[in-house]
Structure 1
Amino acid sequence: MSANSRLTIATHALTWIGLYQRRGHEVATSEQIATSVNTNPVVIRRLLSTLSRAGLVASRRGAGAGWMLTRGLAAITLLDVYQAIEPGPVFAMHPATPDPGCVVGHGIGPTLAAVYGDVEASLRGELARTTLEDVLRDILKAA
């Protein structure tokens, strides 16, 4: 199983747009963002479309088309981004009900549900503590 990079790519794109806007540009094109992320602009457009439905970005069509943040980097947390692109839980239970006659099959759901709930709460808490402003600050500090 490979790791999911959607949160990383979304964070990269949003932080890039924020920095681009700070440098005096109104909107960023998906091609510009894709160059920084090193991916296809279609991947960026799909991701930004999802982020748009969550109210984190808006698009402008026609002449001067592109993407812009709907609020400042300090007002967007990693949790906001995560919830926009990964609305479901981090871990899921069996797609089919395990054998209730089996001791493991009977107890696995409630046991893992408790663990997964704690992991989910911890993950959300950590993501809520970091804004995209924090991300950009650390990026610029390292540059």
Structure 2
Amino acid sequence: MPVSSRLAVATHILTVMAVKGDVPIGSEDIAKRASTNAAVVRKIISMLGRSGITTSQTGAKGGTHLARAPEQITLLDVYRAVDTQEIFASPNCPPDASCPIGSQIGPVLDEVKAKATQAMEAELAAVSIAAIADKLKPLPA
């Protein structure tokens, strides 16, 4: 079962933008910095743009930059923008209803999943892109 790396890549992208300030940065430059493909960067930037986290401009001085201050962008915002996976998902096939465990395990796991999701989201909400960038300083723009 693959785990998404979009949150990590998106955080890298946004941290680069936070350090760059209002200077638009191209997807090729970001891809080089994040050691990934520019198409991956463009897809993530598109997701971030739809969520109002980034904004892009075309033209000779085009590129992407933050749509709001890095202090106002939390990792929860980023997670919600780019990651569609749940902490853990239910099986594709439901368990045997005649099994005493299978008939009850779903609601029990749903409760655990809800608590785990709440805890994870609280942690992500407590960290901003600015806080990530601050931990990496001093950095050249």
Quote the residue 1:112 is aligned against.
Answer: 109
Deviation sequence 1:12-68 (CA, Å, 0-9, x none): 0001011012xxx52000011111101111110011001111110011112212101
Gaps of 5+ in 2: none
Q: CA–CA distance in 2 between the matches of 1:141 and 1:109?
A: 48
Quote the residue 1:61 is aligned against.
Answer: 58
Among 103, 113, 129, the residue aligned to 1:132 = 129
Query: CA RMSD, aligned part only?
Result: 1.8
Deviation sequence 1:58-117 (CA, Å, 0-9, x none): 111122121011001100000000010124532211222221111121011011011111
Gaps of 5+ in 1: none
Quote the residue 2:23 is aligned against.
Answer: 26
Please identify which structure carries the higher helix content. 1
What is the letter of the counterpart of residue 3 of structure 2? A
Aligned residues: 140
- Percent of aligned pairs with the same residue? 35
Quote the residue 1:41 is aligned against.
Answer: 38
TM-score in terms of structure 1 length: 0.90
